């Protein structure tokens, strides 16, 4: 169970969002959509404290954190329960695919090296990169790098994986393999929050779609509802703009 | 013209002082590297107070001549810190070289650290690594690779700079040459020979440096 209560974030005088409430149960998949600059990335980053929220409470599993009183230990604990997949992969350039995946298990979870490597090999198998164990990120395609990025998040064994536009930096030919892997995780009921512009993916995979616009969450609904009968005019406007060029049905 | 026979005979004499020169340079290099890493990390993470002190330190040691710094340590400091009265020329020289070069090297290492893509830092933090794990396992190994060619240059400079130790009465390569020349009056031969010795050593290191660079450029490509 993951819940956000009253999460607020300012950058200087600019309030990105205020009083965000969001909760999901284990195995639930939430997709967040919305125009650029509305704070989707910032919200995900607040969940694992890459940004410090300015107000609110977070709960992940049995860990409850008042963001204004979070100690260093709270922050580390929170980060261990949440894994992040970045738009630009963020792979460790000095480590092979295998080591990128096993690094957290060795350093953070303190698993013995042999065990961590064995688990990392299993994960490489699942992400379809068993033959790339010894490859450095620089020699992998964008799609392969992002799959390693997802593998690293899987290795964290977190309660939730946060995806921030995982396919936005990819050349079009690699998008499908990454979305495919995410769908596979969805089938396994991996809890996740995904920020994406891939509406088809949202339709297929999301349990709930959240539409964010200036200052917060405008509406939240299951995909069939949000995509066909959005309640708010801003949602309709956004969906028309983003769906029309792709030939998908417009509300 | 040149007294080649004298030079030939002087060669083994001077070479016997080479180990001291190389030792001073190596020890100073090791300490300078450690200090430079600390200074760079303090600067990058903007540790309060320490950051200001680091800036001051770097500014002073880059802003004043090495010779002045050596004289300060050897002749100046014992005046105020009486326990330093027994400081040897070698110790003062190693200390001076360490501090002087660490200031330069700190800036190179800092630049290398800053050059590492920020997303790796965030990725490391996002999986729950601490700042120090991030530094030790992700940032510094990469920064070292980037900074190594520059640091090798500083090592070469350092070897040449050890010659200043003779002004503190240390009989290293340069000090020995000075003494031999004063005894024989064959200044040209003696100083030409010592110049050749430095040159050959530096050339050998430069060769190693080029090899290293080729190796480093291939890094992380597999
Ligand atoms: N570190 C920062 N300092 C100051 N302002 C920031 C910072 N990070 C984000 N912002 C601002 O906060 C707002 C939200 O940014 P954010 O990146 O979260 O939006 P987004 O919804 O993810 O947009 P996109 O779809 O373009 O990724 C923007 O106005 C942005 O300029
Ligand atoms: Mg974003």
Tens of pLDDT along A183-232?
A: 999 999 999 999 999 999 999 999 999 999 988 999 999 999 999 999 99
- What's the complex ipTM? 0.93
CA of B111 to nearest chain A CA: how many angstroms apart?
Answer: 17
C-alpha B103/C-alpha A61 separation (Å) is 48
C-alpha A242/C-alpha A197 separation (Å) is 8
Distance from residue A50's CA to the centre of ligand 2 (Å): 13
**pLDDT tens digits, A7-52:** 999 999 999 999 999 999 999 999 999 999 999 999 999 999 999 9
Q: Answer whether B123 sits within 8 Å of A103, measured CB to CB.
A: no
Instruction: List the domain boundaries for chain A.
Output: 24-38+161-251, 92-157
Name the 3-class secondary structure at A54.
coil
Exposure of B130 by Cβ count < 10 A (0-12 exposed, 13-18 middle, 19+ buried)? Answer: middle
A152/B contact by beta carbon, under 8 A: yes
pLDDT of residue A180: 96
What are the residues facing A3 on neighbouring strands? A23, A59
pLDDT of residue A2: 95
Residue B86: its H or E element: none
User: Tokens 């990120």 belong to which residue?
Assistant: A137
The number of the ligand 1 atom at minimal distance from the alpha carbon of A197 is 25
C-alpha A92/C-alpha B138 separation (Å) is 7
Which residues of chain A are within 8 Å of residue B119 when distances are taken between CB atoms? Answer: 86, 88-90
Which residues lie below 8 Å from residue A185, measured CB to CB, with a gap of 6+? Answer: A150, A154, A161, A192
State which residues of chain B have pLDDT below 70: none
**pLDDT tens digits, A61-105:** 999 999 999 999 999 999 999 999 999 999 999 999 999 999 999
The CATH code for residues B19-170 is 1.10.3720.10
Fold of A24-38+161-251: Rossmann fold (3.40.50)
């Amino acid at each position: 169970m993951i819940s956000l209560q009253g999460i607020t974030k300012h950058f200087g005088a600019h309030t990105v969002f205020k009083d965000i409430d969001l909760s999901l149960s284990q195995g639930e998949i939430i997709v967040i959509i919305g125009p650029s600059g509305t704070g989707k990335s910032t919200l995900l980053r607040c969940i694992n404290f890459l940004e410090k929220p300015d107000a609110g409470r977070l709960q992940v599993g049995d860990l409850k954190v008042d963001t204004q009183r979070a100690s260093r230990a709270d922050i580390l604990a929170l980060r261990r329960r949440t894994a992040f997949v970045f738009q630009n992969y963020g792979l460790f350039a000095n480590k092979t695919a295998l080591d990128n995946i096993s690094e957290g298990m060795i350093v953070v979870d303190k698993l013995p090296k042999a065990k961590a490597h064995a688990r990392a090999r299993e994960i490489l198998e699942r992400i379809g990169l068993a033959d790339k164990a010894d490859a450095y990120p620089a020699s992998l395609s964008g799609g392969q790098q992002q799959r390693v990025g997802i593998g690293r998040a899987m290795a964290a064994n977190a309660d939730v994986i946060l995806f921030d536009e995982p396919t936005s930096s990819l050349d079009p030919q690699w998008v499908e393999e990454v979305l495919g892997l995410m769908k596979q995780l969805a089938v396994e009921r991996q809890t996740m929050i995904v920020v994406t512009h891939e509406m088809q993916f949202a339709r297929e995979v999301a349990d709930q779609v959240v539409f964010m616009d200036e200052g917060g969450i405008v509406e939240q609904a299951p995909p069939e509802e949000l995509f066909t009968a959005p309640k708010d005019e801003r949602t309709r406007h956004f969906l028309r703009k983003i769906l029309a060029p792709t030939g998908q049905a417009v509300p | 013209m040149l007294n080649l026979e004298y030079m030939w005979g002087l060669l083994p004499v001077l070479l016997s002082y080479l180990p001291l020169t190389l030792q001073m340079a190596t020890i100073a290099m090791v300490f300078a590297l450690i200090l430079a890493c600390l200074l760079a990390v303090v600067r990058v993470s903007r540790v309060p107070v320490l950051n200001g002190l680091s800036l001051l330190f770097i500014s002073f040691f880059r802003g004043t001549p090495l010779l002045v710094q050596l004289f300060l340590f050897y002749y100046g400091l014992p005046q105020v810190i009486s326990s330093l009265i027994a400081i040897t020329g070698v110790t003062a020289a190693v200390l001076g070289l360490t501090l002087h070069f660490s200031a330069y090297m700190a800036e190179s290492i800092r630049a290398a650290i800053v050059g590492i893509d920020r997303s790796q830092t965030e990725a490391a933090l996002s999986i729950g690594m601490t700042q120090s794990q991030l530094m030790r396992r992700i940032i510094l190994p990469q920064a070292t690779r980037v900074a190594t060619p520059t640091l090798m240059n500083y090592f070469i400079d350092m070897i040449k700079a050890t010659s200043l130790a003779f002004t503190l009465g240390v009989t290293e390569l340069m000090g020995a040459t000075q003494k031999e020349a004063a005894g024989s009056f064959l200044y040209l031969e003696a100083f030409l020979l010592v110049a050749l010795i430095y040159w050959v050593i530096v050339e050998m290191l430069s060769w190693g440096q080029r090899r290293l660079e080729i190796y480093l450029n291939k890094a992380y490509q597999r």
